[in-house]
Amino acid sequence: MSDQDGVRKGKGGTVFVRVEVCKGCSFCIDFCPTHCIEFSHGYNKKGYHYPVLARPEECTGCDMCGHYCPDFAIYGIRLKDLEARQAPAPEPLIPTKP
Amino acid sequence: MSEELHVVEETPDFCEVDNPVMPYLRQDRIPHIWCPGCGIGTTVNCFARALTDSGLDLDKVAIVSGIGCTGRVAGYMNLDSFHTTHGRPIPFATGLKLARPELKVVVYSGDGDLTAIGGNHFVHAARRNMDLMIVCVNNFTYGMTGGQVAPTTPPGATQTTMPFGNYENPFNLAYLADACGAVYVARWTVYHVKQLAKAMLEGLHKKGFVFIEALAPCPTLYSRRNRLGDGVDQLKYYKEKSVIRNGADTKEVPLGFQGEIVVGKFIDRDRPTWLDSMNAHYTGVFRDRYQPWGGSHGQD
Amino acid sequence: MHADPKGVLTGVHFIDGDHAACEGALAAGCRFVAGYPITPSTEVVERFAARIPQVGGMFIQMEDEIASSIAILGGAWAGQKVMTVTSGPGLSLMMEHVGYAAITETPCVIVDVQRGGPSTGLPTLPAQADMMQVKWGSHGDYEPIALCPNSPQECFDLMVKAFNLAETYRVPVFFMMDEVVGHMTERVVIPPADQIEVVERRWTAKPPAEYLPFEPGPDMVPEMVKAGDGYRIHVTGLTHDERGYPAMNPAAQDRLVRRLSEKIRGNADKLVDVREEGLEDAEIVVVSFGITSRVAHAAVEEARRKGFKVGHLRLIIAWPFPRKRIAELAVRAKAFVVPELNLGQMALEVERAVAGRVPVIPVTHAGGTVHQPGEILARIMEVAR
C-alpha cells in the first residue's frame, strides 16, 4: 500500500461522497461499523451537513454506508478494488473551515 | 480531527469512480423527493446491489410501481419502468409479464398501495403464483398524502385519520402472503441491508410469487406524529428489537407498536407458476398441436 | 399490412355479435385479452379463451374489471395488441384506467356491450346509455374514439377498424355494442387474411439514445417501443414531458393535455365514419347508431313511402362526433330526430352541432328493448307537419 497521504494507510478503504445530494440523515454515521464517519462542519447548498471521513485509517471500505444511504450520496470501496478499477482518485477537496 | 476525504462535487461527469448504484438510477432525476431519513432509498440501494449480483440482463428487467412515496421508485430507476395507478401495479405487472414472459418483472410499492386498495390483486396474484417479485416497503403509513392510517399501522399509533390513536387491527403481511400462496416470503428492515439485498437477490432468481416486506422509517409522518425521533432512531429501534427467525411460522410474526420485530426468510417453497400451469395444461389437452406461450420465464 | 392468417377464421359463419367481435379482434391481431365476466359481454371472452390456445396468445380472467383494464395496458407495453370486454357496471370500474391509457397513450380496445342501467339495471336487456360515459367517464380532459356496430357482420368488420384506430392514434378505442347486437345471430362473412388490412404499431426505428417516448410525430402521435428492447422507458400517469418523466407544472400540463386532445380533434376529419341515406334532399334528418339504426331505417323508409323527405345519418364513429357534417345538414334541414336507447345522450351532441338553427327531437327510450319503428315514425311525422 502506498503511503502518499493519510487515506491510504490503515484498514484499506475509503469513501466517496456526493455532497450536494446528501440530506444529512446520518445513517452512514450511525451505522458505520468502525465509526470513522462524522458530519462536516460545513453545509451543502441545501443547508445539510454531509459526512466526512473523520478517521480515514479506520475505514475498511465495507460499504455499509453505501448500503444505508437513502440518497445515494456516499459509498465505500476497498482500496484494492479502487486500484483495480484503474481510476485515478480525484483531487481531495479541502472543505472550508467554519 | 482530520477532514481529509474524497469529495466529488455536483454532476456525475466529475465522478471518476462511481457509486455502484448509479447505473441503476436515472441520474438526471437525482436528488430524489424522499425525505431525509426515509428508508425507501435504502431499499433501492439493496435492490441495485441485488441486480448487480443477479447477472440478469437489465434490458429484460421491468419495474412497476403504484402510487405513493414508494411508488416513486420506478421513476428513479434506469430500467423499463412503469408508474401506474394506485393499487394496481400487480395487475399491470401481470399483463406485462404474461404478454412477454421473458421479462423479469418486479413490483415495487408501498404497504397501502399493495394491501389496501391493491389487496384484491395481491391476493389473487399470490394465489395464482404469478411469476412476480413484490418488494413492499412498509412504513406503516400513507406517506405521500400526509400520514394517514394504513392497514399495517400498529394499534395505538396516531395518524391523521386516527387522530386519537389507531384502534384497527393491522395486517401481518407475511402471514397474508403465506396464506395466499406466495412461494417466497421474507421480512427485513432497512437496518438489515445485507440481508435485504440477499433476499432481493434470491427473489430475482425465484420463480413464482415472491413477497419481500421491507420495514422502513417514515420520519416526517409516522415517526414524527408518534414522537419516535427521526430515521436513525427508527433504525436503532429496528436494530434493538429485531429478532431473526428464519423459517418462523408466519402466523407468529405480527407487528405491534414499537414492539418486537421478527425478521427473516419465512417461506421458500416451490410450486408451478401460473404460466407453467397453463402451458402444461394445454399441452395435456392439445398435445403437439399446442405451442407453449413464452419460451422462458426469466433468465435463470 | 395483411392480417395474420392464424387469427382469421375465413368462411361464412352463423354467429352472434359477441362471437363475431371476438373473431374481429383475432383477425386484427389481438393476442392478449384480460377480462372479467359480465352479461351480455361474456361470450366475447369465452370464445377468445377457447380460440387463443390454438391461435397463440394469452387470455386471463382477472379478479375484477379494474385488474382487467390495467392488465391489458401492461400487455400493450409488452408489445401486444390488447382488448378487454365489459358492460356498464364494469365500464364504470374501468374508468380510472381509461384515463391512464389516455395519458400514457396506450393503444387498447374496450368493448362495451351496453345493457340497461344505471347500476345493475337490466343485465340481459339492451340500452345505449353509456355513450356519454365513454367520452366523459374518466376524470380530466381526454378524447377517446368510439365505434357503433349494428350487426354481427359489423362486429367483425368494425372490430378490425377499432384496433387499427387504436394503433394509429394511440388512444383507448371503445366498441359500443349493445345486448341485441351482441346476442343476435346473423350471417357473418370472414374474408381471407390477405383481404383484411391491419395497422401495425408504429414502432420507432430510432436507437435508445435518440428516442423520446412521448415526442410527437408530425401527426401528433409518438412512436412506440415495448418493454424488454433496451429502451429503458419510463411511463407514468403523472403529467409528463417528452422523456416520460413527471413534469408537474402548468406549462407541461398545457403542452401534454392539449396535444392529447389535438391528436383526435386535429384529425377529426379523418375520423368521420357515417352511413348516409337520402340526405341529398332531406328536410328531416334522423341520426342514429347501433341497434337503433336498424329500427330507424325501417321508420325512415316508411316515412319516405308516405312522401316525406327524410334522410338517415348513421354514426359508425360516434366519438369524435361528426359535428361538421351535422352542421352542414342543419343548413338545409328543418329538424333532426335522434332515436336512441337512452334519455337523450348523442342527441345533446346533435343539438350542440346544430347550434339552435333547427329543432332537435330526441326519441328517448329508457332501455330494455328496442324502439318500435312506429315510435320513431310518429316523431318524424310530428315534426314533418
Instruction: Give contacts of A 21-40 with B, CB under 8 A.
Output: 21, 23-27, 30-31, 38, 40
**b/e map C354-368, b = 16+ CB within 10 Å:** beeebebbbbbbebe
Which amino acid, residue B6? H
pLDDT of residue A3: 33
Pairing of strands C310-315, C274-277: antiparallel
Cβ of A15 and B6 within 8 Å? yes
Q: From the CB of residue B55, how many other CB atoms can be counted at a distance below 10 Å?
A: 12
Q: Which domains, from first to last, does chain C contain? A: 5-195 (3.40.50.970), 274-384 (3.40.50.920)
Residue corresponding to grid cell 363475431: C20
pLDDT at B165: 96
pLDDT band with cut points at 50, 70 and 90 for residue B20: confident
Residue A89's pLDDT is: 56
C317 SS3 class: strand
pLDDT for residue B173 is more than 80: yes
Each residue's pLDDT tens digit, A21-77 = 999 999 999 999 999 999 999 999 999 999 999 999 999 999 999 999 999 999 999
Look-up of cell digits 345538414: C329
User: Can you list the domains of chain A with their CATH numbers?
Assistant: 6-84 (3.30.70.20)
Rounded distance between C-alpha atoms, residue C365 and residue C150, angstroms: 17
- Could you say which of A67, A85, A95 has the minimum Cβ distance to residue B17? A85
Of residues B297 and C79, the one with the higher pLDDT is C79
Indicate yes or no: CB of B100 within 8 angstroms of CB of C228: yes
Residues B124, C67: C-beta atoms closer than 8 Å: yes
B220-270 pLDDT per residue, tens: 999 999 999 999 999 999 999 999 999 999 999 999 999 999 999 999 999
- Residue with the bigger pLDDT between C319 and A85: it is C319
Cell numbers found for residue B265: 426468510
Phi and psi at B100, nearest 5°, equal: -145, 80
Yes or no, beta carbons of C74 and B102 under 8 Å apart: no
Residue of B nearest to A25 (CA): B37
What is the rounded CA–CA span in Å between residue C178 and residue C111?
A: 10
pLDDT in tens, B85-127: 999 999 999 999 999 999 999 999 999 999 999 999 999 999 9
Question: Which has the closest alpha carbon to B24: B36, B32, B16?
Answer: B32
Whether residue C74 and residue B80 make contact (CB cut-off 8 A), yes or no, is no
**Average per-residue pLDDT in chain B?**
93
Q: Number of B:C CB contacts under 8 A?
A: 137
Q: How confident is the model at residue A83 (pLDDT cuts 50, 70, 90)?
A: confident
Average pLDDT over residues B194-205: 98
In order of their start, the domains of chain B are 35-289 (3.40.50.970)
Which grid cell is B227?
414522537
Assign B284 a pLDDT band (cuts: 50, 70, 90). very high
ipTM of the complex: 0.96
- Find the helix or strand (DSSP H, E) in which C173 lies: strand C172-178
Residue A4: is its pLDDT beyond 70? no
The CA distance from C201 to the nearest CA of chain B, in Å, is 15
pLDDT for position A94: 56
Q: pTM value? A: 0.94
A59 in contact with B at a CB cutoff of 8 Å? Answer: no
Render each residue's pLDDT in chain C as its tens digit; 385 residues.
999 999 999 999 999 999 999 999 999 999 999 999 999 999 999 999 999 999 999 999 999 999 999 999 999 999 999 999 999 999 999 999 999 999 999 999 999 999 999 999 999 999 999 999 999 999 999 999 999 999 999 999 999 999 999 999 999 999 999 999 999 999 999 999 999 999 999 999 999 999 999 999 999 999 999 999 999 999 999 999 999 999 999 999 999 999 999 999 999 999 999 999 999 999 999 999 999 999 999 999 999 999 999 999 999 999 999 999 999 999 999 999 999 999 999 999 999 999 999 999 999 999 999 999 999 999 999 998 8
CB distance C291 to C298 below 8 Å: no
Contacts (Cβ under 8 Å, ≥6 apart) of B227: none
d(CA C211, nearest CA chain B) in Å: 14
**B178 phi, psi to nearest 5 deg:** -60, -50
Q: Which helix (H) or strand (E) holds A18?
A: strand A13-18
β-strand pairing of C172-178 with C108-116: parallel
At A85 the pLDDT is 74
Assigned C-alpha cell, B22: 448509479
